[in-house]
Structure 1
Amino acid sequence: MKLGLVGLGKMGGNMRQRIRDAGIDVVGYDRNAEISDSDSLADMVAQLGEGPRVVWLMLPVQFVKQTLDELKDLLGEGDIVVDGGNSKWINDKNNAAYLSDAGIGYLDVGVSGGVWGRQNGYALMVGGSDPDVATVMPVFEALKPEGDYGFVHAGGVGAGHFAKMVHNGIEYGMMQSLAEGWELLMAADEVTDVPAVFASWQEGSVVKSWLLDLCVLAMKDDPKLDKIRGFAEDSGEGRWTVEAGVDLAVPTPAITAALYARFSSRQEDPPAMKLVSAMRNQFGGHAVVEDKPAVVDESDVDESTAQSSDAS
């Protein structure tokens, strides 16, 4: 079979190579002509030949709808579109209905594996009909890790992206726990080798995980993570997980806290903490750190108590 793959970034490019390594012909399209196998979506579809044709999208969510609009005119009865990006699951049923008017099938696939997927395989969470899944199964087999795990047909349309959304929400909570534990260990005088502590957990520990392995890897070249700024974006799926929890009345306190921690990371001087500090000062007389020192007459204060104007 031949596969059309749209979007050849960090994930898509590696997926193209892994699929090719499995003996499947892949025609890739990307707006970056240097990495693209085709000049346009129309050229890519033409290279796929006779149907059933399968086109897999690895695109940011904001580009999915316009790409589906183009593909609807290029594909036909029996063809299948796979959305493998981090799309919001509530869009999947609308996308499937939109393409079904032209007899085009639709699968939503949550893909996990990051930049290591080409080597280790990708965890795939699939939503859609049994016949469409069966058609695309050779590609799923090429992408998934060897063995019994790493692939699930989670349910009908929308199930794949919903499962991936929850997967990423869990990831938020796990990452935040590891990060808080690392900070606590770094602050303790008793612990002299934090990287070694993390490394010791890689075997025999209940917190053994791939995320832990990645922490150890990150600390090998930068033991105190001095080269990294404490800033973390969120892809959107953490927010969607929290929203789904609210809609379904399912409490997600750990995931929600992890999401808000990422928001805090973007603030050099979190405004809310100003009021917390002010309240602590008011009720307990706790000292506050002034943002901008007051102007004082240096002749009225001892040099040892004067605040430096260079403080930031």
Structure 2
Amino acid sequence: MELGMIGLGRMGANMAERLRRGGHRIVGFDPKANEYQQANAKGVELAQSIAELVGHLPPPRAVWLMVPAGDAVDQTIATLLPLLAPGDVIIDGGNSNYRDSQRRALALADSRIDYVDCGTSGGVWGLQEGYSLMIGGGEAVIERLRPLFATLAPAPDRGWGRVGPSGAGHFTKMIHNGIEYGLMQAYAEGFSLLQHKSEFTLDLHQVADIWRHGSVVRSRLLDLTADALGENPALDGIAPCVADSGEGRWTVLEALELGVAAPVITLAMLARLRSRDPSSFSDKLLAALRQQFGGHAVLKEQTKD
């Protein structure tokens, strides 16, 4: 098949390369020069504009978006819309909010352009091992795109599938990422306990490597933990501040709206917010309250020279 891909960051470029290796013709575009050059080095056929990209594709066209969630997706679709024709399809492989995907699918249906939301997971291993694809949209258009999904997935018959109508793909990926938050937090807390048990002088990289084989807690995230500890055992130079890209928040909000208890994911999200407060007012107030009711000592905050 022939596919246009807009957004050639690391993941987008790797996906384009995997598709190219699978025999598909890929035309890519990215406004950022650095990412454009990286994709060029991978042998991706490049266009100088979105209009040129669309012009290189035979109808019915398929254009895959790997751009940041939010306004960037809407702006890209607005640029594409006058260039496309009935029967063409836009695939959003980023981490868009599922409600936005539902809205976009309805809007594009008026122009008889299909919209497919494809939650994509695989990270740095995707190029070699394949991607996990959670796909929402019409059955017929997803079946037409089967060769693309089968090439991107770990195998043609596993690791991908249509999970429901428009929005279902990004909803499923949102919950996937919420689960990931909880798993990451559990590993972080467990290894912190190991690190604080100083009397045993545990080698955390060794422990992680032991757990990777045969243990019930082995996982791809544990592989990453072992790699990180092997490269930097004390995690020197890494600030204890953890960002989030939105999916964890959306998952917590969805849990509240549905009335479903999700305490682990919620607490993992709150832990990330807490990590960004270098001078926690709540902790200062707790210390002050302990002094007020029990006369407990208060540590003085160190001032910078």
Determine if contact 2:249/2:269 at 8 Å carries over to the other structure.
yes
Match of 1:105 in 2: 114
Task: Note the C-alpha offset of 1:311.
Answer: 6.8
Determine if contact 2:150/2:156 at 8 Å carries over to the other structure.
no
Unaligned runs of 5+ in 1: 293-309
Determine if contact 2:150/2:157 at 8 Å carries over to the other structure.
no
Distance 1:148 1:280, change over 3 A: farther
**1:261-272 superposed matches below 5 A:** 261-272=271-282
Match of 1:241 in 2: 251
CA distance in 2, matches of 1:237, 1:109: 14
Q: Over residues 137-193 of structure 1, what are the superposed CA-to-partner deviations in whole Å (9 max), with x where a residue is unaligned?
A: 111011111374311211000000000000000000000010011111100023321
Q: Over residues 72-96 of structure 1, what are the superposed CA-to-partner deviations in whole Å (9 max), with x where a residue is unaligned?
A: 1111111110011110000112101
Letter in 1 for 2:185: Q
Quote the sequence identity (%): 47
**1:21-60 superposed matches below 5 A:** 21-33=21-33, 34-35=36-37, 37-49=46-58, 51-60=59-68
Confirm whether residue 15 of structure 1 aligns to residue 23 of structure 2. no
CA distance in 2, matches of 1:239, 1:163: 14
Instruction: Say which one has the larger Rg.
Output: 1
Aligned partner of 2:205 among 195, 210, 226: 195
Q: How many residues align structurally?
A: 294
Relative to the length of structure 1, the TM-score reads 0.91
Aligned partner of 2:78 among 69, 72, 89: 69
Confirm whether residue 280 of structure 1 aligns to residue 283 of structure 2. no
Task: Note the C-alpha offset of 1:117.
Answer: 1.1
Task: Note the C-alpha offset of 1:39.
Answer: 1.1
**1:205-224 superposed matches below 5 A:** 205-224=215-234
Match of 1:301 in 2: none
**1:80-91 superposed matches below 5 A:** 80-91=89-100
Unaligned runs of 5+ in 2: 40-45
CA distance in 1, matches of 2:294, 2:3: 66
Task: Note the C-alpha offset of 1:284.
Answer: 2.9
Match of 2:42 in 1: none
